[in-house]
Amino acid sequence: MTNPQQDSLLQQLEKMSSESRHPDTWDLDQLSSLDIVKKINQQDQTVATSVAACLEQVAIVTDKIVDAFQQGGRLVYLGAGTSGRLGILDAVECPPTYSVPASQVVALIAGGDNAVYKAVEGAEDNPDLAVTDLKNIDFNKHDILVGIAASGRTPYVLGGLAYARSIGAYTAAISCNADAAVLAAADCGICAVVGAEVVTGSTRMKAGTAQKMILNMLTTAAMVRCGKVYQNLMVDLHASNEKLEARAVRIVMQATDCPADTARHALIAANNSAKLAILHILTGDDISRCQQKLQLNGDSIRQALTA
């Protein structure tokens, strides 16, 4: 019985390092719990080295994200399965951490919201579905699309990348397999070759960790470049609960070496903006003047202080 389509996929999987069997874990089902987790930990330690090999590409894409933000564009992640969920995880952390609107970093997953919790059969194999999803959010040439696919062959991601490039948008792709189709389909390919997984083909493990590390870098570095961080403090956090309100006080204290009461009073005057409170304390200017300084200096404390 022949199945040409399946045979083709089998040939593709055969060439992927992330789908190969790891020689050190053939006895995995015979090990104790401690020995299993030791094996996993040993392999996890190799991930950062794999990511280090593609930092230049990560930096290139970061610069493009900053350019897009400065022109009013968005960062849009596109993925299926674990890759799609990792994109969502990174996107939803940006508003509370950096007080950016939820529309600035967007994540799309094959199969829609239901696919976050349960696989939607066939969704990742449909390239046209990605085009529909991008059109539904009015994706345009000012946005940047980052396709995420551990295997590097996901049709949903390939379809989205092709559409984005056809309308003139900048594209990037993240994969864990060299010579992956998504890398060739994007303007910039980010490839962290993590090799065989502890459990063969379980790319939520090392490949997923590598992808998460890269996504962390992209948004963190872009937000730093956009003035959302002063020194190493998240001065634009959105204090939406008691823990974050206390963190805002601590951030003001750390940035200015002031006591807690001074930080609290400054935050009240600055309508809970840690960035404004810090500039107010450091310069002695009133809040209105501090707002003007930030507006004139790219919303950056550092630039406002040195202008």
Distance CA 190, CA 210 (A): 11
- How far apart CA 132 and CA 87 sit, in angstroms, is 18
Distance CA 219, CA 222 (A): 5
The first and second tokens of residue 112, run together, are: 């829609």
- Specify the 3-state DSSP secondary structure of 58: helix
For the question of residue 93 being annotated catalytic, the response is yes
Of the residues 14, 19, 93, 245, which is catalytic?
93
CA distances from 232 to 8, 56, 220, 225, 227 (A): 49, 22, 11, 12, 11
Strands of 144-148's sheet in order across: 105-109, 75-79, 144-148, 170-175, 188-191
CA–CA separation, 47 and 45 (whole Å): 6
Catalytic position from the list 19, 56, 124, 242: 124
C-alpha distance across the termini of the chain, in Å = 74
Looking only at the bridges linking them, the beta strands covering 105-109 and 170-175 are unpaired
Beta strands in the chain (DSSP E): 75-79, 105-109, 144-148, 170-175, 188-191
Q: Specify whether the CB–CB gap between 193 and 53 falls below 8 A.
A: yes
- Six-digit token string for 215: 């996504």
Say which amino acid occupies 213: M
Q: Is 124 a known active-site residue?
A: yes
Alpha-carbon gap, residue 55 to 53, rounded angstroms: 6
Which amino acid makes up residue 100?
V
Q: Give the catalytic positions in this structure.
A: 93, 124
